[in-house]
Amino acid sequence: MGRFNIVERRVARFVQEPPTVRGATAVIVTATFIVVVGAGVLMTVIDNTEFPNIGVGLWWAVQTVTTVGYGDVAPKDVSGRLLGAFVMLEGTAFIAIVTAVITSSFVTRAQTERDAAQRSDDLSDREVMERRFDELERKLDRLAS
Amino acid sequence: MGRFNIVERRVARFVQEPPTVRGATAVIVTATFIVVVGAGVLMTVIDNTEFPNIGVGLWWAVQTVTTVGYGDVAPKDVSGRLLGAFVMLEGTAFIAIVTAVITSSFVTRAQTERDAAQRSDDLSDREVMERRFDELERKLDRLAS
Amino acid sequence: MGRFNIVERRVARFVQEPPTVRGATAVIVTATFIVVVGAGVLMTVIDNTEFPNIGVGLWWAVQTVTTVGYGDVAPKDVSGRLLGAFVMLEGTAFIAIVTAVITSSFVTRAQTERDAAQRSDDLSDREVMERRFDELERKLDRLAS
Amino acid sequence: MGRFNIVERRVARFVQEPPTVRGATAVIVTATFIVVVGAGVLMTVIDNTEFPNIGVGLWWAVQTVTTVGYGDVAPKDVSGRLLGAFVMLEGTAFIAIVTAVITSSFVTRAQTERDAAQRSDDLSDREVMERRFDELERKLDRLAS
């Protein structure tokens, strides 16, 4: 139970304050690893007929968390199916966050390049202004002398 | 029927005017919850042989909406399969919107940081301009005195 | 065959020049609809033992394109599996593009709001500059009179 | 083994330095193609009872990498399931990167359009400033003459 509380609390904190992309990646990979191993082991306890050993449990957990779902092994009683539903939803979060991390890295990269172009535009704008100021000052100086 | 009309109307409004990210999250989570429970219950009415109780219906609905699809239970007649197709498409929307919400929160966070950097750049640009104005004014004042 | 050529040509054009989001949505929804109906019908011709009627074909096509894949019906011979592989890849494109459209609408909305804030910042910058120009001109005018 | 090392090293490099969108597309499509063909062939060696020929192996690999997972064919022993888990995770990366590439192309397109609008705004800002400078210079020139 304690293990799941940790996952849950992590997920809750994640939703409340948007983490850095790096942090989100670490959290979701860790959470998914814990969920796969935890659920794979737990399943052999809950439903030992369908899941006779941890290997079968892990095999089921991996194909559930990636939403592949062959169905060659699947929980048959209520508590196993509740655990299964939890793994499916965590799997959806896993895929969503992995996709989000990669997408945001692509978008950020493109923007960094565009920002550099924009900055050189801004610079040339400022240069034009500076030259106008230089000209004005020179004229004022000539007037003063 | 009324229940589905609500979902449909919500979806239609959603597509027409892009909602806030917060609103979209609320809508899709609510819609998916209604679809899972609604379809899980409805399935026991439509196809009581394959879905003898609500537990089986919910188990099928969750594995369908997350696109896991073990196939240990699946509708066999036309009306059940039509309902199934609806749940699958809603599930695709669910995954797409959850992914979109997380991605857009990452992208927005990155941009907020970049905007802050940009603003301090703009500020230093303005400071340079202001100092040039100060210099010009001082010279003009000296000329006038 | 002609039907698939249309899909292919559309996909090719799509990849070459990034379409508008509105256009992409129309193309992918149309393409997916054509693929589901087309593959569902074609499957009853290719493998009439596994797919005795169009209803079964459509049921298989929908659960394949959404990547649910119960496996209650699945092609057993080479040509059917080739068609199946095509539907799976189109389904991946379908989910990817739907997700991309929704994500980009969220990101664009957030940026439009930020741009409006930025513009009012730029405006106040320009106002400060304009006031400096006004002051300079007034002083020059006084000097000239 | 060498083949997998290439894939792994490519993936590692990909994660370390965010590639161009064009490069990422090439890498993931190539990697996925190699994984599907490689795993499909390897499966017939590892588990020849379940996978009697390469056709069956490829059919399993495609439905695994797209996360469809009918489960009509699935590995039954440990080494086959380890390979299966690898293909599932590569499939998740495949879908995530394809989605990221399309999303980022949509977002970039929208920003390019907004940038063009912004630039014309900036230009008109500069024009206003330039006209103010022109006026100041004319006045200074008149004063000097």
As for the ipTM of the complex, it is 0.80
Query: What pLDDT shows up at residue C76?
Result: 96
Q: What's the number of CA atoms in the CB half-sphere (13 Å) around residue B111?
A: 23
Nearest-10 Cα torsion for D99, D103, D104, D106: 150
Joined tokens for residue A87: 């793994």
Q: Which of D28, D66, D67 to mutate to test the interface with C (most CBs of C within 10 A)?
A: D66
Mean of per-residue pLDDT scores for chain C: 88
Residue D30 in contact with residue D3, Cβ under 8 Å? no
Q: What's the mean per-residue pLDDT of chain D?
A: 88
Cα separation, B66 vs B96, in Å, equals 11
Segments in chain B forming alpha helices (H): 2-16, 21-46, 54-65, 78-144
Q: Average pLDDT over chain A, rounded to whole?
A: 88
Residues near D119 by beta carbon (within 8 Å), at least 6 away in sequence: A121
Would you call B121 exposed, middle or buried from its count of C-beta atoms within 10 A (0-12, 13-18, 19+)? middle
When comparing pLDDT for C77 and B145, which is higher? C77
DSSP codes, D104-126: HHHHHHHHHHHHHHHHHHHHHHH
CA A128 to chain D, closest CA, distance in angstroms equals 9
Contacts of A13 (CB under 8 A, 6+ apart): none
State the smallest CA–CA distance between residue D15 and chain A in angstroms.
9
Tell me the residue length of chain B: 145
Q: Is A105 on the interface with D (CB under 8 A)?
A: yes
Ranking A114-128, A131-145, B43-57 by mean pLDDT, the lowest is A114-128
Q: Give the pLDDT score at D102.
A: 93
Write the single-letter amino acid at B116. A
Which residues does chain C have within 8 Å of residue B143's beta carbon, measured at their own beta carbons?
143
Which residues on chain B are in Cβ contact (under 8 Å) with C107?
103-104, 107-108
Q: What is the pLDDT of residue B114?
A: 84
Average pLDDT, chain B: 88
Q: Is the pLDDT of residue D76 over 50?
A: yes
Positive/negative CA dihedral, B137, B142, B143, B144? positive
Average pLDDT over residues B59-79: 97
pLDDT band at B81 (very low <50, low <70, confident <90, very high): very high
Mean pLDDT of A74-102: 96
Helix axis angle for B54-65 and B21-46, nearest 10°, is 140
How far off is chain A from D45, nearest CA to CA, in Å?
Answer: 20
What is the rounded CA–CA span in Å between residue B51 and residue B54?
7
Q: What is the pTM assigned to this prediction?
A: 0.84
- B97 vs B17: CA distance, rounded Å: 15
**Picking from A79-88, B90-99, B127-136, C95-104, which range would have the lowest pLDDT averaged per residue?**
B127-136
Q: What is the spatial distance between Cα A8 and Cα D17, in angstroms, rounded to a whole number?
A: 32
What average pLDDT does range A94-118 have in this prediction? Answer: 90
How many Cβ atoms from other residues are within 10 Å of residue A34's Cβ? 16
The answer to whether the Cβ–Cβ distance between C98 and B96 falls below 8 Å is yes
Judge contact between C71 and D67, C-beta under 8 A.
no
Chain D contact for C82 (CB, 8 A cutoff): no
| Residue that is written with structure tokens 């199946």 in the block | C84
